[in-house]
Amino acid sequence: MIEFDRVSRRFGQQDALRNLNLQIDDGEMALLTGHSGAGKSTLLRLLLLLDRPTGGQILVDGQSTKQVQGNAVGHYRRRFGVVFQEHRLLFDRNVRDNIALPLEIAGFSLHDTNRRVRAALDKVGLLAKERADPNGLSGGEQQRVAIARAVVARPEFLIADEPTGNLDPALSVEIMTLFEAFNQVGVTVLVATHDLSLIARSRHRLMTLAAGQLMQAGVA
User: 3-class SS at 118?
Assistant: helix
pLDDT the model gives residue 47:
97
pTM listed for this prediction: 0.90
In a domain, 119, yes or no: yes
How many structural domains are present in the chain? Answer: 1
In a domain, 124, yes or no: yes
In a domain, 67, yes or no: no
CA–CA separation, 35 vs 181, rounded Å?
Answer: 27
pLDDT the model gives residue 36:
82
Question: Comparing C-alpha atoms, which of 75, 79, 105 is closest to residue 90?
Answer: 105
In a domain, 105, yes or no: yes
Per-residue DSSP letter, 163:
T
pLDDT the model gives residue 209:
93
In a domain, 100, yes or no: yes
In a domain, 134, yes or no: yes
In a domain, 120, yes or no: yes
pLDDT tens, per residue, the chain with 220 residues: 999 999 999 999 899 999 999 999 999 999 999 988 889 999 999 999 999 999 999 999 999 999 999 999 999 999 999 998 788 899 999 999 999 999 999 999 999 999 999 999 999 999 999 999 999 999 999 999 999 999 999 999 999 998 888 788 888 888 899 999 999 999 999 999 988 777 888 889 999 999 899 986 554 4
Query: What radius of gyration do the chain's Cα atoms show?
Result: 17
Angle at 90 between CA 89 and CA 91, to 5 degrees: 105
Domain containing 139 equals 91-153
pLDDT the model gives residue 53:
97
In a domain, 6, yes or no: no
Phi, psi of 72 (to 5 degrees): -70, -20
